[in-house]
Amino acid sequence: MQEIFEEIIDYLKGIWLKRRYIIIATWLICPIGWYFVAAMPDVYKSEARVYVDTQSLLRPLLKGLTVETNPNTQIRLMVKTLLSRPNLERISRMTDLDVQASNSAQYEAIIKNLKDNIKISGVGRENIYTLSIEDRDPEMAKNIVRSALTVFIENTLGETRSDSDSAQKFLNAQIKDYENRLSNSEARLTSFKQKYSGILPNQSGGYYAKLNGNKEKLKAIELELLENKTRLDSAKKQLAQSVIADSGSDNKIQSDSTIRTTYDDRINELEVQLDSLKLRYTDKHPDVIEISRNLEHLNKLRKDEIEKYLAQNNENTGSLKRLSANPVIQEVQIQVNQLENLIASLNVRANNYRQRIIELENRVHTLPEIEAELIALNRGYGITKAKYEELLSRKETAQLAQQADETTDKIQFRVIDPPRKATKPSGPKRFVLFGTVTFIGFAVGIALSLLMSQLTPVATSTAQLTKITGVPIFGVISANENLGLHKWHQKKTFIFIGSNLLLLSLLLLFVSYFVFPDFIQAPLKRIF
């Protein structure tokens, strides 16, 4: 510790021996620096404070009904974009700064100056923003702040309207696009269903349900067919037995009058009507002629039915040439005929179902592809429909939000402190600059003195000499007064002190020039 202290003392002694460099540096740096500080033009500051109110009374009522943008986020974005190129150009036009530029370089300098000097700052969560600028002309500073405040407010409000309009245009375009997509999807799905309507899944089931249904129906028809064939065989046996039993009797069909047909009741009715008409009219009356014609036609149909019945009976009975007039036999024969007709109908139906089953089984290898394509079409249609409905819902929400924005402003501005014309300059901070220049001058002088003391070292103590030479010092001889060294050192000290006092006086003169402008600046202005 003692060694460090002694070393510091040696450095200070060395600086003191080379103190002339302090004088040189301070007189070269300080006056010139003070002059430039004094010559710096005055600047005037103008500022305005604005409060941004984002607490709209309508927001709680519309919560959940509209898409709400965060107004605080919007304000922060506008603060960051206030100094954008378009805004700066607009401010320059509003303040007539653009007319001061005679070329593009000067115009760019004006824009850059605005960007560098306009300051905007916020106060925490209170949404209080301060716009400020410093300029040589106090009136221009006021106008620039006022213009920047106007641009800030108008851009914030206009951005909300622009966002709503842009959202509406975007949603309308998307809705139209998805409407076309939905129509195309519906058309493709409809065409596909029409093409494969026989095997596609529906309310009654899909392919396998339809195939199994046809098989079940075929099985039921075959069962019913088997039952009716059994009944037919039994009826034929009964008919044959009845015919054989009745073959020895004399109850043979002698005429066709004993066979009842489907036309008998109608023929009897017309005959009664004809008899009634003949009592009143002649045979040439139109009604008589019409009923006679109908009777003739019905008798012909009755005769054809009897012949058909007799032929069928002859075919069923084989060896029998005539049909018995026994009503029981006739009833059995009718039952046989009905069963034969029913069996024929069931055979037709069974063949139809067999054909359907064959057609369905032939399509079984294409079924997975068809079902996969149907699933894809339904999925695409469902997604498109869901998006379309979502866009419609969002459009309604956007319209409601736009109407709410047009009804009331979510963001309201209140100017707390309007911009004013400054009466006193706000800068430059000359006293601080004077102190800085003085500090720099002395610091450079001390650094030069230290440097020269190391380049041309002088031993100031026995310990330092011993350290440099490595030879022990046993004694010290004081300087003779006749040499004049003591007086020379005193003279240098007086010069150093006088130089610094003179420099300090010069500094006080520069400071007084601005501290007492009425006593110093006014007389100088009258002189010069």
Identify the weakest region by mean pLDDT among 53-57, 424-428, 500-504: 53-57
Half-sphere exposure of 153 (CA within 13 A, CB side): 18
* pLDDT score, position 153: 77
Phi then psi dihedrals of residue 121, to 5 deg? -140, 150
Nearest residue to 155 via CA among 55, 80, 210: 80
Quick one: 485 exposed, middle or buried, by C-beta within 10 A (0-12, 13-18, 19+)? Answer: exposed
* pLDDT score, position 440: 93
* pLDDT score, position 319: 41
Q: What is the mean pLDDT of residues 210-214?
A: 77
How far is it, in rounded angstroms, from Cα 400 to Cα 11? 81
Distance of CA 382 to the CA centre of its chain: 20
* pLDDT score, position 247: 54
**Residue predicted with more confidence, 262 or 502:** 502
Instruction: Say which residues have a Cβ less than 8 Å from residue 257's Cβ, sequence separation at least 6.
Output: none
What letter would DSSP give residue 121? E
Say if residues 306 and 261 touch (Cβ distance below 8 Å): yes
* pLDDT score, position 482: 52
Phi then psi dihedrals of residue 48, to 5 deg? -140, 145
Residues β-bridged to residue 135: 44
Q: Please write the tens of the pLDDT for every residue from 361-395.
A: 776 667 667 777 878 888 888 888 888 888 888 77
Three-state SS at 426: coil
Cis amide prior to 419 (ω within 30 degrees)? no
Measuring CA to CA, how many Å separate 265 from each of 2, 178, 255, 261, 303? 156, 71, 19, 9, 14
**Between vectors from CA 522 to CA 518 and to CA 527, what angle results, nearest 5°?**
155
How far is it, in rounded angstroms, from Cα 307 to Cα 336? 17
For the chain, what are the domain ranges? 2-40+428-527, 44-82+118-176+394-417, 200-244+324-362, 253-319
Instruction: Say which residues have a Cβ less than 8 Å from residue 407's Cβ, sequence separation at least 6.
Output: 58
Identify the weakest region by mean pLDDT among 117-121, 125-129, 145-149, 400-404: 400-404
User: What is the percent of the chain with per-residue pLDDT over 70, rounded to a whole number?
Assistant: 70
Amino acid at residue number 316: N
* pLDDT score, position 499: 86
What letter would DSSP give residue 478? P
How far is it, in rounded angstroms, from Cα 371 to Cα 366? 9
Q: What is the mean pLDDT of residues 419-445?
A: 87
Q: Is the pTM of this model over 0.85?
A: no
Q: Residue 475: which pLDDT band, with cuts at 50, 70 and 90?
A: low
Q: What is the mean pLDDT of residues 424-440?
A: 86
**Between vectors from CA 447 to CA 445 and to CA 450, what angle results, nearest 5°?**
110
* pLDDT score, position 477: 63
Q: Count H helices, E strands: the chain?
A: 15, 4
Say if residues 91 and 112 touch (Cβ distance below 8 Å): no
pLDDT beyond 50 at 1: yes
Distance of CA 132 to the CA centre of its chain: 38
* pLDDT score, position 444: 92
Mean of the per-residue pLDDT values for the chain? Answer: 76
* pLDDT score, position 439: 92
Q: Which of 12-16, 146-150, 203-207, 462-466 is the most confident on average?
A: 146-150
Instruction: Write down the residue that tokens 């700052």 correspond to.
Output: 121
**Gyration radius (Cα) of the chain, Å:** 62
Q: What is the mean pLDDT of residues 57-84?
A: 58
